[in-house]
Amino acid sequence: MLSRGDVFAGYAIERQLGRGGMGSVYLARHPRLPRHTALKLLNPELFADTEIRARFEREADLAAQLEHPNIVTVYDRGADDGRLWISMQFVDGVDAATIEHPVPADRALRIVEATAAALDHAHRNGVLHRDVKPANILLADIDGKERVLLTDFGIARPRDDVHHLTQTGSFTATLAYAAPEQLTGAHLDHRVDQYALACTLYSLLTGVAPFDATNPVLVIQGHLHSPPPSLRARRSDLPAALDAVLARAMAKRAVDRFDSCAEFAAAARRALSETGAQPTVFAARSMPQFPDPNHHPGGPSAVPQPYSGYAQPSYAAPAPSYPGRPMPVRRDSRTPIVLLVVLASVLGGGYWVWQDETSPVADILQRSRGHKDLDALHEAFPQMVPAGYADGRGYHRQCSASLKPQGYDDPWMKTFDGFQARRSCSDELVVDTHYVFYTYPTAEAATAVVARFRQETKDWGQASTGTRTDDRREQSTDGRYSGSAIVSTFSEPARARWVLVFYRGSGSSPHPGFTVEANMPILIADVASFPLG
């Protein structure tokens, strides 16, 4: 942790603005220019994590491409003393999650309109934000007028690269504002941000998220299956037309939503104007007073410490605790203790179900270990393995997916049973090259499977290519040749649980017209042509 007066990457640290599970944000003076910047630092223990580093660096690269009055400006990034850093525009204000809710309708619409303009600009430049929520919308008081800025592109990615950097299979967007297609792993386009923006408008106007629940499973079910909740059920002063606008922006299918975020915001504005409501004038903000950290409580010394929304962490880090962060208005509660205990139990059970990657719920939500392995296979071999978890096209072949052991009777398939995930790619020509990716729970399990296959087959030599080792094998059934295979294993730790099998033949069905002498060179040539990473 840096302290006032420390110098990092040439920036003079003044104070910490916030801290999260992935890093910290500091208010700092620019080394050469007379201005303050927000300096975001990745925690040093995460420096060696290549995926997190890539996400952190991508945040700067993507945001730096976006020049818009409603998007926080990124100035520079780099690495210093074993830590990655990003310097960006310092916004002296609060985020939309910390202001008093419900927000007056006109102010909520102005926040959404400005955010919509920022998102449409990002979309025109090929960038999806993918984590739009009130906490990522900063509000600054400039001469009595409210300025709205969108920040935190930590999980944003280019629009044509929506499957990149997901090898862990983890879901990083905030659940309360996630579109159905994010939850199911479907293809994402610009309308994923529109859905989240509509959820944000609902939250601003009501003080709760659209599918508010302590159990994450219920939140997911709401996004996937329940109709958008009515605004008028919570605020009778809002027009019914606004419910219709939100219903379209939060449609389960992206194709049924508005064409742009600006179109959604304009429709919401028209719906609101039907009530004849007068605009809410933004008054100059009275900043909360925070104790001087060098002064004892109760003394006369107090200094204003404006909160900077930059402290909101990226990458779905745990919610940070901000020093001096204004808290939302508390409502009087007389909930019985028994009800609180029940809610705590539901929350704990829901959290456990959400975290458990081996439960039936994980299979339903497509976030099991097997699903994560299928994502990782696609990341490693994008030309050979299709994205997602359904059937798709691989390297000129149709591929199917299986999760968990299948209990095969066929000796060929039974040898490789016990897998965690499987991608099998073949076509109608039984003598053509087929290939199957298997992933196992541990590297030891994968090694045992390969050893068993070696015992059951005849050795035709071994070759190595980079970190991949290819065993050439012949299989017989009842003394008759039934196929030749190349079994590939990988020495990298991340792929040590994977086994790739190329084969010619049809399992236990013999092919009298083939001999291994003629078949193996053809198979080797086919394997050499495959786009292996």
Residue 318, SS3? coil
Top pLDDT among 297 and 58 is at 58
Give per-residue pLDDT as tens, 196-243: 999 999 999 999 999 988 888 888 889 999 999 999 999 999 999 999
Mean pLDDT computed over every residue of the chain:
75
SS3 state at 464: strand
Name the phi and psi angles at 505, rounded to 5.
115, 180
Could you give the 3-state DSSP secondary structure of residue 7?
A: strand
Average pLDDT over residues 30-56: 80
pLDDT at position 521: 66
Whether pLDDT at 439 is above 50: yes
In this predicted model, which residue has the larger pLDDT, 394 or 11? Answer: 11
Where is pLDDT greater, at 508 or 175? 175
Does the structure show a pLDDT above 60 at 331?
no
pLDDT for the residue numbered 341: 45
pTM for the full predicted model: 0.52
271 in Cβ contact with 242 (< 8 Å): yes
Other residues' Cβ atoms within 10 Å of the Cβ of residue 182: 21
**Averaged pLDDT for residues 340-353:** 49
Tell which wins on pLDDT, 199 or 473. 199
pLDDT digits (tens, 9 = 90+) for 372-424: 889 888 888 888 888 888 778 777 678 888 886 655 545 556 778 888 899 88
The confidence score (pLDDT) of residue 404 equals 67
Neighbours of 277 (CB within 10 A): 15
**Would you say residue 345 has pLDDT above 70?**
no
Give the mean model confidence (pLDDT) for residues 421-429.
74
Provide the 3-class DSSP secondary structure of residue 190: coil
Token representation of residue 273: 């104007």
For the chain, domain boundaries: 7-89, 93-286+305-315+336-345, 370-529
- Looking at residue 443, its amino acid is A
The answer to whether the beta carbons of residues 47 and 59 sit under 8 Å apart is no
Residue 138 CA to residue 13 CA, distance in Å, equals 22
| Active-site residue list | 131
Count of other CB atoms within 10 angstroms of residue 47: 16
pLDDT digits (tens, 9 = 90+) for 98-109: 999 999 999 999
Task: Please choose, from the candidates 298, 290, 348, the residue with its C-alpha nearest in 3D space to the C-alpha of residue 322.
Answer: 290
| Structural tokens at position 180 | 């159905």
**Confidence tier at 513 by pLDDT (50, 70, 90):** very low
Does the domain at residues 93-286+305-315+336-345 carry the CATH identifier 1.10.510.10? yes
Work out whether strand 498-505 and strand 480-490 pair parallel, antiparallel, or are unpaired.
antiparallel
Question: Does residue 290 register a pLDDT over 70?
Answer: no
Residue 50 pLDDT grade (very low, low, confident, very high; cuts 50, 70, 90): confident
Query: Could you tell me which residues come within 8 angstroms of residue 474 by beta carbon, excluding any fewer than 6 positions away?
Result: 457, 458, 460, 481, 483, 484, 485, 516, 520
pLDDT of residue 322: 33
Residue 281: the pLDDT is 36
pLDDT bucket at 61, cuts 50 / 70 / 90 = confident
* Model pLDDT, residue 520: 66
Residue 27 CA to residue 87 CA, distance in Å, equals: 10
* Residue 192, pLDDT score: 95
Phi-psi region of 97 (alpha: psi -120 to 50; beta: other; left: phi over 0): alpha
Using an 8 Å Cβ cutoff, are 206 and 226 in contact?
A: no
Task: Round to whole Å and give the CA distance between 212 and 194.
Answer: 19
**Share of residues in the chain with pLDDT > 70 (%):** 69
Alpha-carbon distance 325 to 514, whole Å? 74
Gyration radius of the chain's alpha carbons = 28
Query: What are the angstrom distances between the C-alpha of 189 and each of 198, 346, 487?
Result: 16, 34, 38
- Which residue carries 């009595």 as its tokens? 144
**71-81 per-position pLDDT tens digit:** 998 888 888 88
pLDDT at 518: 55
pLDDT at 28 over 90: yes
- Measured between alpha carbons, how far apart are the two ends of the chain, in Å? 40
Is residue 328 very low, low, confident or very high in pLDDT (cuts 50, 70, 90)?
very low
Query: Once rounded to an integer, what is the mean pLDDT over residues 148-153?
Result: 88
Rounded to 5°, angle at Cα 116 from 114 and 121: 100
Look up the CATH superfamily of 7-89. Phosphorylase Kinase; domain 1 (3.30.200.20)
The DSSP-derived string for 225-260 is HSPPPPSTTT-TTS-HHHHHHHHHHT-SSGGGS-SS
Higher pLDDT among residues 280 and 437, named by residue: 437
Query: Rounded to whole angstroms, how far apart are CA atoms 262 and 249?
Result: 11
Q: What value does the mean pLDDT take over residues 308-324?
A: 35
| CA–CA gap between residue 391 and residue 423 (Å, rounded) | 9
Predicted pLDDT at 161 = 43
Please answer whether residues 87 and 93 qualify as being in contact, where contact means their C-beta atoms are separated by less than 8 angstroms: no
458 confidence band (pLDDT: 50, 70, 90): confident
The CA distance from 406 to 190, in Å, is 39
- Residues 236-260, mean pLDDT to the nearest whole number: 96
pLDDT at 309: 40
